[in-house]
Structure 1
Amino acid sequence: MAGLRFESVSAGSLSVSEPVEYNVRDLIIYALGIGSSDLRYVYEKHPDFAAFPTFPVVLYYKGTSFDALPFPSPILVASLVFVSGAALCRCFLGWQARYPTQKTVRGNQLLLRLEPYADPGDSGRAAFPSPPMKNVKVWLDAGVTIERLADLPTAGRMKVEGGVASVHRKGKGAFLEKLHELKDEAGKVYYRMIDASFCVGATDFEEFGQQLTTLVQMPKRSPEKRRETKLEERAAMIYRLSGDYNPLHLDPEFAKTAGFETPIVHGKCTLGHTARCLLDTLAGGDHRRFRSLALRYSSPVIPGQTLVVEMWETNAPEEYLFQVLVKETGKVCVSNGRLLLHAASRL
């Protein structure tokens, strides 16, 4: 097997296209994984059965598989993106991932670095070259933005397209944003998603693109609304069935090697529970009113803990700011949150 091949393209023009597929069962499993008992999301015969609005965040882990997957999953590894100067490089065929000796965790996310490996069929030559962006110690999952543009079918085959949209210097590293769109085969866009990462220690790169996300300023007054939700002890065990099989969220020994006493909850599982609380409180749980949600990760959550979602109204119609605290510790686990809804009268 040959080593990784890289294709250099102009900044901002990289487009990764990966097929994804899901069915009704996937929608139900996801809804259960974020603590939903709403029949609209867990009962396929309900007249208003639909995908919960944040479901698409799992598709980039799941791909087209309907089985358990290795971590990182093939679709994640196949679309790794590195940055070098004013060019982007995409890795193609010829990859293999394994867990590195040093595992780094921040917030709710395990941050894996892919190591070189020797391919016996290739004279022992390392098949994973150093990424062009130099001195990256670790990639931190900084936040997520998800925008709903159209009703998602309850089953289907689609594709995720996108790539790196911007890279900027921040502190002792780089702040990187990846923009992806979920489309059908005809090109209709259903969702637009932004994943923000902080590349600690990154050097030898050029900034490009306009930063897509900014932090909202949280009010200093008390929140207008609060909602609590207690996570099941099995929260991460159930959520992983949607496609993110990172052992950090299940395996106690693996969690200890990463610096935790116990497995922690997936960041996007926390996102799902948060979105459910917001939608139930502010929109009667109606998926049709969901427009967009943005947040930043701040600290990890442990299965069995209680999330306290605090909500503030703004001067803009159907706009709400929010943050999430862990009741047992008082720590903020999700910060700088912003939710936009469609007005009920538009339905």
Structure 2
Amino acid sequence: MQPTQKEATPMPIDVEKVTSAPPVRAAAVWDEREVRLYHLALGAGVPETSSDELRYVFEGHEQGLQVLPTFGVVAGGTGGVGFQLFDLPGVDIDLAAALHGGQEITVHRPLPAAARATTITRVPAVYDKGTAAVIVQESTLLGEDGRPLITQRNQIFVRGEGGFGGDRGPSERLPAPDREPDRLLDLPTLRQQALLYRLAGDGNPLHADPATARRAGYDRPVLHGLCTFGMAVKAVTDRLLGGDATRIAACRTRFAGVFFPGETLRLRIWAASEGDEGGAGYRLTATAADRDDAPVLTDARLTTR
């Protein structure tokens, strides 16, 4: 009798299957209420009588309701355009091992305050970083006229799934300039800020449930990386772009460390020139001021028009 051949254990990530799968289309519908709630979750509206702040949270503002481009990653209450790890063909991973490693947004035109839009999501690459695999997801948000509003790329690090002999991928590091920052901003946060940001669509219990946070190795729930990134983009818009979010052409960051609600987010900002990588705009980093400037956001850039 011939020995029974042992079935091969399926790989948690089938690179060929996931990268060759057809794009996924999904609806993304939002209105002014969701935009206002998103901005409030970033800390907008302080002081509550400031016209500069009311443009983010008051639908009756004389200049209309302004929409930060980072709203696009939660547009429609999905928790993040392109975050579809549950539905990706060829991906069967433990989500506890998945970390949001980086985010990049290209702005084709300003986001409207209300829309019935469509997202088209694909996985163009899976990189092998040795100890981890990196799933690159790309989503384009199309307006009601079918034209692109934003394109975003996010990197999902999956711990323990590297070493499959794949391409390591390009280096996307963008070190901060070797000089003192041009601006230093301290942004306080609320202890309940993660609970507010969850209402934008990211219901991960890591950001609300102490027991879940402890299982992940933290002593209490952490703030969403996309919330700290949104706060940084808003701060640059308000302090350096005259409050005009339509001047933002692109923004990106790498999520380098944990941040807890109630801490102070410290931004270091450097002006960039046309000759710098990424063009004119600003480089920035963010740290936790309360914990000896522990890194929170690195390799960050905001490109302006």
TM-score (norm 1): 0.73
Please give the per-residue CA displacement for 1:166-204, whole angstroms capped at 9, x wherever unaligned. Answer: 122213232221111001344210000000122222257
Contact 2:17/2:90 (8 A) holds in 1: no
1:337 aligns to what SS in structure 2?
strand
Within the candidate set 46, 57, 68, 1:52 is matched to: 68
Contact 2:238/2:244 (8 A) holds in 1: yes
| Matching of residues 190-269 of structure 1 within 5 Å | 190-202=149-161, 207=166, 211=170, 214-269=172-227
Aligned to 1:82: 90
Contact 1:12/1:209 (8 A) holds in 2: no
The letter of the residue matching 1:156 is A
Aligned to 2:37: 29
Please give the per-residue CA displacement for 1:6-49, whole angstroms capped at 9, x wherever unaligned. Answer: 9x868456311111111110000000000112111100011321
Within the candidate set 286, 296, 299, 1:324 is matched to: 286
Moved more, 325-334 or 202-211: 202-211
The letter of the residue matching 2:133 is A
1:177 aligns to what SS in structure 2?
strand
Q: 1:315 to 1:247 in 2, by over 3 A?
A: same
| Matching of residues 23-172 of structure 1 within 5 Å | 23-37=31-45, 38-48=53-63, 49-59=65-75, 62-63=77-78, 76=84, 79-82=87-90, 113=94, 138-172=97-131
Q: 1:78 to 1:10 in 2, by over 3 A?
A: closer
Report the CA distance between 1:293 and its aligned residue. 0.7
Q: 1:9 to 1:331 in 2, by over 3 A?
A: closer
Please give the per-residue CA displacement for 1:50-78, whole angstroms capped at 9, x wherever unaligned. Answer: 22221011137x24xxxxxxx999x8355
Within the candidate set 321, 328, 333, 2:296 is matched to: 333
Report the CA distance between 1:161 and its aligned residue. 0.6
Contact 2:74/2:80 (8 A) holds in 1: no
Aligned to 1:301: 259
**Partners of 1:19 and 1:288 in 2: CA distance:** 24
Q: 1:10 to 1:245 in 2, by over 3 A?
A: closer
2:111 aligns to what SS in structure 1?
coil
Contact 2:23/2:122 (8 A) holds in 1: yes
**Partners of 1:33 and 1:266 in 2: CA distance:** 11
The letter of the residue matching 2:201 is G
**Partners of 2:144 and 2:40 in 1: CA distance:** 29
**Partners of 1:173 and 1:231 in 2: CA distance:** 32
Within the candidate set 282, 290, 293, 2:248 is matched to: 290
Contact 2:129/2:162 (8 A) holds in 1: no
The letter of the residue matching 1:46 is H
Contact 1:144/1:294 (8 A) holds in 2: yes
Please give the per-residue CA displacement for 1:285-316, whole angstroms capped at 9, x wherever unaligned. Answer: 21111111110011111111001110112232
Contact 1:227/1:281 (8 A) holds in 2: no
Q: 1:244 to 1:333 in 2, by over 3 A?
A: same
Contact 1:14/1:164 (8 A) holds in 2: no
Q: 1:9 to 1:248 in 2, by over 3 A?
A: closer
**Partners of 2:227 and 2:19 in 1: CA distance:** 32
Q: 1:11 to 1:159 in 2, by over 3 A?
A: same
Aligned to 2:7: none
Q: What's the RMSD between the two structures over aligned residues?
A: 2.7
**Partners of 2:19 and 2:281 in 1: CA distance:** 33
**Partners of 1:313 and 1:163 in 2: CA distance:** 33
Whether 1:17 and 2:62 are equivalent positions in the alignment is no
Q: Identical aligned pairs, as a percentage?
A: 27
**Partners of 1:302 and 1:274 in 2: CA distance:** 15
TM-score (norm 2): 0.82
Report the CA distance between 1:140 and its aligned residue. 2.1
Contact 1:165/1:209 (8 A) holds in 2: no
2:239 aligns to what SS in structure 1?
helix
